[in-house]
């Protein structure tokens, strides 16, 4: 059994924003693996699917990005899962748009949602699928940038990245970290 959490902010205002790539990935996984319904639990929304014959829970924390750890820690405790059974999908400004990196035990690089998870779980020892959103132009405000929607000309790259993220989840669950890194670091 595993928990896959996608980070984002609840509400229509943020639905298509760069900061909500984690939610978008969870929604795409739910479609691919035919999740029946998302139920309100653990200060978020959770659904159950099977990926590579393994029972997997898909979680969208509704606590706001910077408090994601609260929701994730509650789910992990209730499901009695150790940190190595957690995969977190999130946006990353240190990666160019469309790039994917898969990590285990890496630092937060200033991502407050990830820092919240570190604090709540008391560990960094969980998997992360980092989805590149690139950096804003010099004159652009950082917060405005991450909360802005993707531009129309970026959408094809975003869709490809989300497809790759879903494939990366499958490989990570089925074959492990090394195989996932070998496949997806090269692709992106």
pLDDT band at 106 (very low <50, low <70, confident <90, very high): confident
Please report where in the chains the tokens 């494939």 appear, as a residue.
167
Mean predicted lDDT score pLDDT of the chain: 94
With a cut of 60, say whether residue 188 has pLDDT above it. Answer: no
Q: How much is the pLDDT for 109?
A: 82
Q: What is the pLDDT of residues 116-159, one digit of tens each?
A: 999 999 999 999 999 999 998 888 888 899 999 999 999 999 99
With a cut of 70, say whether residue 35 has pLDDT above it. Answer: yes
Q: How much is the pLDDT for 38?
A: 96
Tell me the mean pLDDT in the region 83-89.
Answer: 97
Partnered with residue 6 across adjacent β-strands are 89
Domain locations along the chain: 2-187
Give Cβ neighbours of residue 90 (< 8 Å, ≥ 6 apart). 6, 7, 21, 22, 111, 113, 114, 128, 129, 130, 131
Architecture of domain 2-187: 3-Layer(aba) Sandwich (3.40)
Partnered with residue 44 across adjacent β-strands are 41, 61
User: Best-predicted range by mean pLDDT among 105-109, 110-114, 139-143?
Assistant: 110-114
- Distance from C-alpha of 127 to C-alpha of 105, rounded to nearest angstrom: 7
- Distance from C-alpha of 73 to C-alpha of 88, rounded to nearest angstrom: 12
pLDDT band at 110 (very low <50, low <70, confident <90, very high): confident
- Contact yes or no for 4/60 (Cβ under 8 A): no
Q: Active-site positions?
A: 19
Partnered with residue 92 across adjacent β-strands are 132
pLDDT band at 20 (very low <50, low <70, confident <90, very high): very high
Tokens of 3: 């928990």
Tell me the mean pLDDT in the region 84-94.
Answer: 96
- Contact yes or no for 102/172 (Cβ under 8 A): yes
């Amino acid at each position: 059994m595993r928990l896959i959490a996608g980070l984002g902010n609840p509400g229509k205002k943020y639905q298509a924003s760069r900061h909500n790539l984690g939610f978008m990935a969870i929604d795409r996984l739910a479609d691919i693996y035919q999740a029946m319904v998302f139920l309100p639990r653990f200060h978020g929304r959770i659904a159950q699917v099977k990926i590579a014959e393994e029972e997997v829970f898909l979680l969208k924390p509704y606590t706001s990005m910077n408090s994601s750890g609260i929701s994730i820690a509650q789910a992990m405790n209730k499901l009695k899962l150790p940190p190595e059974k957690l995969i977190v999908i999130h946006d990353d400004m240190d990666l160019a748009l469309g790039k994917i990196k898969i990590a285990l035990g890496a630092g937060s690089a200033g991502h407050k949602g990830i820092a919240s998870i570190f604090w709540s779980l008391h560990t960094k020892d969980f998997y992360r699928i980092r989805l590149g959103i690139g950096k804003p132009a010099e004159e652009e405000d950082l917060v405005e940038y991450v909360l802005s929607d993707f531009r129309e000309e970026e959408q094809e790259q975003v869709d490809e990245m989300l497809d790759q993220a879903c494939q990366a989840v499958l490989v990570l669950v089925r074959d492990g970290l090394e195989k996932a890194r070998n496949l997806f670091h090269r692709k992106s």
